[in-house]
Chains A and B, each alone.
Chain A
Amino acid sequence: MSQEQEFLSRLASAHSQALEGLQSIAVQLEAGASGDDESINASKLTQEFNVWKERYVGKKAPVASLKKELGLLDPASRRHAGAELNRVRDELLDRAQELGERLVSARLGTLQSSSRIDMTELALDSFRGHIHLITQTRDELEDVFIGMGYSIQEGPEVETDWYNFEALNIPPDHPARGMFDTFYLKESVRGTQDGDRPSSSSSNKLLLRTHTSPVQIHTMSEYKPPIYMVAPGKVYRRDTPDARHIPIFNQIEGLVVDKNITFADLAGTIESFTTKYFGQDIHSRLRPAFFPFTEPSAEFEITCAICSGSGCRTCSGTGWIELGGCGMVDPNVFEHVGIDPEVWSGFAFGFGIDRCAQMRHSLVDMRVLLANDVRFLEQF
């Protein structure tokens, strides 16, 4: 046998072995796809295929070593044997590529049919509980003032007449009492201790606080200035509920007592809070008002967000919406808590937490806050 014949015969043998291996994988793949043999697994065949590739088309494959032997042949045989070798190599590469592609699609197909899990079925509505709108509003307001160096103070909802009225410069029969519709507790009920308050019977009368302002008195009685605090909480007015008023609502009170605190500081603080909470386009203005426990006193109004200040029905054409009251702490209040008004000065402010929520979310009827309907609660 000539060198050339021997070369061609070894090539033919390598060729047929390679084809055999390839054929075996192809047949198994076919069986698996048609469902005839369930034990056939595309990933396992892929591994087998990788071994085949290593053996027949890799660097150590027979075809590769035969190629190195081409140089030993005489030139005429070399050309013929070389052409034959290239033909065999190309055929194997083509068929390997084709089978490789079939294997990849078989693996994808496997996942899509048999072991498929509908994960969208598992991702039901993202169920969670919801923190109340008013709490969220309160927390956000607290955070604005915490950022300005204030602490959060809390007081009781049942108060004595002294804390709710008298210490705030509203003596019995003062016309300003008409501003508050007060719930009183039954006469027979009292506080657990008499404490340090005047002991006249009218001062000890118990009531549900009509504003958060009594916390001013508690705080100034307990701490020495400087004081920077806000006091959020529930307040009560004896008012039949309607769309705009509910008898139990939430206010936040602010109090600053320090040296050289002025009306200018009050105006600046209100403006600073307004832009921080409502946004850069919302501003504040103060106009004269009357509160017995502050002087000078002011109502504060903020830009009407509905018309951006140009005037609309909500703001009665003024471009402003009333938000709360404020003023410089009245010297009489300081005297009630033993702070010298010639040394210290301060300002106080108060406004509705519910009202802030109402303005942000256009609550047309405040009574929705009384019902606790989960369909309402779950949107916040």
Chain B
Amino acid sequence: MKVSLNWMREFAPIESSPSEVRDILDDIGLVVESVTSIGAGLDRVVVCQVLDISPIEGADKIRKITVTDGSEKLQIVCGAWNFAVGDKVPLAKIGAILPGGFEIARRKMKNVESNGMLCSAQELDLEKHGIEPTDGILVLDSNAEVGRDLVDELSIVPDTIFELELEPNRPDAMSIAGVARDIAARLKIPFRPPWVGNKQLPSVVFNRVDSQDFLVNHCPDLADRFGVWILDNVKVVQSPQWLKQRLISCGQRPINSVVDVSNYIMLEIGQPTHPYDRTKLRGGGLVVRRALPAEKVVTLDSIERTLGPIVDVSENTDDCVICDSLGSPVGIAGIMGGYSSQIDAETSGILLEAAHFSPMAIARTSKRLGLRTDASVRFERGCDPNAIELAAIRFIELLESVGSIDLGKTYRVDFDGFNIEQQLERLKVHLRPKRLNQILGTEITPGEVIETLESIDFTSEVVDDEALEVAIPTFRPDCDREIDLIEEVIRIKGYSTVERRVPSSPFVGALDLYQKRRRQLRQVLALGAKASEAATSSLVDISDGELFGLDYPMIGLENPLSVNESHLRASLVPGLVRAIGYNLDRLSLGNRLFEIGHLFVGDERGKYISEYEALCVVFDFEKSTDSVRLLEELVGIYRTIVGGIGSVDCKLEATSYVGFVHGSVSSVTMDGVVIGKIGEIEEEVCRQLGVRTRSVGALEILTGWKFALGGRTELTTGLLTANSQVWGSAWIPSPFPSAQFDLAFVVDEAVASSQITSVLTNLCVSSDLSGIRHKIQLYDVYRDKSLPKGTRSLTYSIRLEPSTATLSDDEIAKFRQELIASVEKTQLAKLRLAT
């Protein structure tokens, strides 16, 4: 929305400078996007007349031009050829600074002195003043006065244009008058609306005909106020320069006097009107109705639009069409007029429509058609229902002033049962000044409240000691509650007038335990596991997930931007592997990335969804024939994490997962619940995800945060939720000597070391040696030809810490025997060596 400072000055005596006005606009919530100066850069540009044109020796592109500016003859060198002796053209004199900042100085070309520059429309940036750019020097009208400033010759009025970015709740600010009203309120200067003192039009019933001949409204719910005026004896002309300039500076293209005046009124007061060529309207009047199924209308822009319910005929439509008296559509209500009845040079009679439409209906139709116009934007935000007649009067008045109509041949059509003059009542809302100060933290008196509201046309009456009754103007559909009035008062007074305080929270701010441990986890990953944190997209290609045969269907988007980003990730692994690939392609080897983020899991039918937080670490590694070294690295990372975060209850269990190398992958469990996976990713999967030259290891573990939609955030089993904070008593190292011995077992390769560990642990816990602290560690794995085929030797170190007495040799020997027996009993292992 562009507003002209000159134009606003017609309604309020704004004396502030353009930059002051800019600050005011920003401060009252009408944010200024840009400021343009009209007429700037045209100082010292005058009309001159060409007296002589002669060639320059040795130059075939430039010529020597002699001109007069009325007082003296000047010699100019010019490279344009589109003018002749006698033509009047713009001359930028020495010292002029053109709109682009180019300063004119005396120059010499081919030894010929040039004392200025003849200019084109582009060089003078005249397009924004309504002058169509042409090739070559701008040749002015032959009546142009030599020596006159170009600004005066072209009737360019210096002005400042503010481009505003308006919030959707301020339809009243979509007009020059509306913006002027707000500025005047802030400056505490009078606001004089354009309609004050305008003459009323004679109310003539056209040849005593029934108004039904001019308007039948079948859908007053969509078009709740509708007025029609008849203008005969119309002469369509070019608009005067001042009018054109205002339209152009506010972003409208001048077309002809009738269309221009309609646009002018819309910009001025925010009420769109639509003039129809009455001779092209069959039957001479209008019918307003809902669109029929798949009804077609060709709009002003010559595009055929399809309206109405398209598939289901029984469906009601809110598309409102304006038809001629015979029922053929001639426009889409409130959005765009039809091609067939448009105003052209031959138009001799006009039917003028000024109406108020349902904002919601206009918004829906406009959105569905993908057709946004200056009119639709205003109607959908809510025009002033009381501005209809005003708009028509302004239209007629202005059209008369530009010489397009004869007031004697202009009629308002009066309708039975609907009087356009009848104004809608203003909504009345109670405002408690005490409440206002409670919300704002201010001390504004009731008198100031009344005065401030009055300045934007909200009128107040005192109800009692507590409350005012405020009548809200009909051009402010956004205001209908007490809080809206409170906002208006402080908006006009200025947000900066409110003092600043800081509320004192009754709480001690802190992270919760989960959040603390999550920060700790990041430190462990970065400093311990030496992995860098990435942030990959939550939106992925479904095939990325399918590479891992994810157990549950991935959730799709209704309106994705692309196939690559059409599904919610159910795992962080594919995204991180892709990130590894991206970096490998850029010659970074040995990348180790981690991410802590949300993933989204659907149920078997892809119908219900749960959201989890998870940790994922992915790294690339030299390709080799076996996985041992990669897995050592991977388990090393795992141990750093589990050790660093203190989640000692996590266990690895060999298993298999789609997408991971068979035999090189484990699940991560905690309290018997699987919370993650860890392993080497299959070569083919890596390739699909963009990693060709390296092997990839990955681990992904749920951290414990979960959200089931419709439920609440909850903490479930996960890396960060283990070992919730319990204050156990400290163990004091015993004064009695500890006992230590090693047990080596021969164990089948198919049996996990963790199985032996848990047998040993279980025995320690259940043994009658309770009260003795134990520590069991696998400290050596040994493979050798001397061992039976398909087995390896696992050596465990067992340490016992008695707390009440020294352990006797017998007790130790007995306990060792029990441990050996318990392991051998499982038939998973045989003792090889005990020391």
Contact = CB atoms under 8 A, between A and B. Distances in A.
B495 A288 contact: yes
B502 A296 contact: no
Centre residue among B501, B519, B556 by max chain A CB count within 10 A: B501
Given A264-B442, A287-B26, A150 B538 contact: no
A288 B609 CA distance: 39
Given A129-B527, A151-B509, A187-B558, 18 more contacts: A128-B527, A129-B526, A135-B533, A149-B506, A176-B169, A189-B602, A189-B606, A189-B609, A191-B708, A192-B608, A192-B710, A206-B609, A240-B561, A263-B439, A264-B440, A295-B486, A296-B486, A330-B483
16 contacts: A131-B522, A145-B509, A148-B505, A158-B600, A186-B557, A186-B558, A189-B602, A228-B506, A262-B441, A286-B496, A289-B167, A296-B490, A372-B582, A373-B582, A374-B588, A375-B588
Contact of B509 (A135, A148, A298, A370): A148
Interface stretch (A12-20, A77-85, A95-103, A193-201): A193-201
B586 interface: yes
A296 B497 CA distance: 14
B362 to A, nearest CB: 11
Interface stretch (B27-35, B739-747, B808-816): B27-35
Contacts of A178: 168
Interface in B497-537: 498-512, 515, 519, 522-523, 525-527, 529-537
A353 B432 CA distance: 38
Contacts of B29: 287-290
Interface of A: 127-132, 134-135, 139, 142, 145-152, 154-160, 173, 175-176, 178-179, 183-195, 197, 206, 208, 218, 222, 226, 228, 234, 236, 238, 240, 247-248, 256, 258, 260-265, 267-269, 271-272, 285-290, 295-299, 316, 318, 328, 330-331, 345, 369-375, 377-378
A372 B576 CA distance: 9
Nearest to B531: A129
B371 interface: no
Given A158-B600, A160-B710, A264-B499, A287 B27 contact: yes
A264 B442 CA distance: 8
A134 B536 CA distance: 12
Nearest to B558: A184
B583 A286 contact: no
A252 B503 CA distance: 19
A158 B568 contact: yes
Interface of B: 26-29, 31, 34, 167-170, 359-360, 363-364, 380-381, 438-442, 481, 483-484, 486-487, 490-491, 495-496, 498-512, 515, 519, 522-523, 525-527, 529-539, 555-561, 565, 568, 579, 582-583, 586, 588, 591-594, 597-598, 600, 602-603, 606-611, 705, 707-713
A265 B561 contact: no
A341 to B, nearest CB: 9
A370 B534 CA distance: 9
Contacts of A264: 440-442, 498-501
B364 A175 contact: no
B711 A130 contact: no
B537 A149 contact: no
Nearest to A318: B26
- Closest 10 pairs between A and B when the two form their complex, measured CB to CB: A191-B709, A149-B505, A288-B29, A264-B441, A262-B441, A195-B710, A290-B167, A268-B500, A146-B509, A129-B526
A331 B480 CA distance: 13
Contacts of B364: 173
A158 B168 contact: no
A158 B611 contact: yes
Contacts of A190: 607-609, 709
Contacts of B557: 183-186, 208
- Which of A146, A189, A222, A264 has the largest count of B CB atoms less than 10 A from its CB? A189
A332 to B, nearest CB: 9
A314 B583 CA distance: 32
A166 B553 CA distance: 29
